[in-house]
Amino acid sequence: MADKSTSGVTRPGTKSPTTKDRRAEARQRLLLAVDVPDLQSARRLVETVAASAGGIKIGKELFTRCGPDAIEALVAFGLPVFLDLKFHDIPQTVARAVEAAAQHGVRWLSLHTSGGASMLEAAARARDALPHDQRPLLLGVTVLTSLEVDDAEEVVDRALLAERCGLDGAIASPQELVHLRAACGDGFLLVTPGVRPEGATANDQARVATPGTAIRDGADLLVVGRPIVAAGDPARAAASIVDEIARALADRTALSGTSAAGHRALVRESADSITAKRLLRMLRESGAFLEGHFILSSGLHSDRYVQCAQMLQYPHRARRAGIWLAERMRRYQPETVISVALGGLVIGQEVAAALGVRALFAERDESGTLRLRRGFDLRPGERVAIVDDVCTRGGSIAECSALVLEQNAAIVATGAIIDRSGGNRSFEHPFEALLEIAAKALAVADCPACAAGDVAVKPGSRRT
């Protein structure tokens, strides 16, 4: 990654700023979007607003009309330039575009994360091959702020892809900032369009927030265009936004001072730990994580119960969990995924879809025995992954394993969304789970809730 010291953003851990210093920092965080049709209008706007801007964003409209002349004309004002062309092409083409942009001295450059890992990595390599003082900061566009987003985790996944591929930051709406900051940590730049002062018109932006909210939620840089450009007094509008940013910075400093870790878990964690936290959030948001007095399928009693069906009823959440579990199981190269119905049926389908393999399911017959029915079969030696929603003691997965081995297929891995076994499981094959949940699993005679007279409930669907 390029040196973050060139980003123009003060990092946590530095000396507490004075009011004057904080306003100077607030100015650095405001990027003026020069979305105007010609150079004369652009020069006039920047000259008017320059005292309150920390940088200039040149987008497709001005660049398409004026080309590199737009960069040269506006660099003359002494402000760094964000060239926002959202590169999205084959890897070699994008790499060459990064080299060309660097020759014009731009500080920030945007690329679409939907271009994929190979494209993003090629851009990062091209940047790293440049002389150190010529390297632009590469920013990955996640999901355009003009689009509605049902699943904030899609934005997080795209930002994490950008980070893994060596980019310096990501561009996302203010509404995903808290999730992004928690997932990506504090060293990753978050650049936020879709910023609108209180009472301003959203125009064609679907996911917006005020400048203060965006800063408090973790944004490093705010890109603001129409609320300044279309204002009756652009200089005053920009200065007002800088004042709001400064107040939010003060709030953020005060808040972080109350806790060594800060309120957004800014410390970068392992990918598995981040996924576990994101999954737990989805479970809680969908009402799938329950606490009380429950009867498990094994007949044991517990103080916690995860009803994954409550989360899996939402297709975007089911798809997300399936993608995460598939990534954990991909290295085993399964040819088929078998899930245990009913609980594992949905997640099994999603894992198989993410892996690009077929999906079967085992179900219980009238006697309660697990079977492959409906014409499902396995060929000898076929590589099989077995998936369930929750592993308590692994009984269903073990039954399904025996079923697969009866057909002389090869079990390469087993997995579940939730592992609540506490290690009390015994599989001969690798086991992957997205989240471990510590929960009691007690016989009725040992259950304190039963002793206290609390009635246990059985929220699952299995009868025996």
Whether the Cβ atoms of residue 286 and residue 314 lie closer than 8 Å to each other: yes
Structure tokens at 363: 């179900």
Mark whether 86 is an active-site residue: yes
Burial letters for 68-80: b for 16+ Cβ neighbours within 10 Å, e otherwise? eebbebbbeeebb
Structure tokens at 275: 């996924």
Q: The dihedral of CA 372, 374, 380, 383: what is its sign?
A: negative
Strands (DSSP E) along 263-409, which ranges? 289-295, 301-306, 336-340, 358-364, 370-371, 383-391
SS3 of the chain: helix, strand, coil, percent, to 5: 45, 20, 35
Q: Which of 144, 128, 146 is nearest to 136 (CA)?
A: 128
Whether the Cβ atoms of residue 121 and residue 166 lie closer than 8 Å to each other: yes
Residue 338: φ, ψ to 5°: -115, 130
Task: Tell me the HSE value of 212 on the side-chain side, using a 13 A CA sphere.
Answer: 10
Whether the Cβ atoms of residue 9 and residue 228 lie closer than 8 Å to each other: no
Helix/strand/coil for 112: strand
The single-letter DSSP state of residue 5 is: G
- Cα–Cα distance for residue pair 27/50, rounded to 1 Å: 10
CA torsion, ordered 364, 365, 369, 375, to nearest 10 deg: -80
Q: Facing residues of 190 across strands?
A: 170
Q: 20, 57, 86, 277: which is the annotated catalytic residue?
A: 86
| Burial environment of residue 267 by CB neighbours within 10 A (0 to 12, 13 to 18, 19 or more) | exposed
- Cα–Cα distance for residue pair 409/382, rounded to 1 Å: 5
Supply the residues annotated as catalytic. Answer: 86
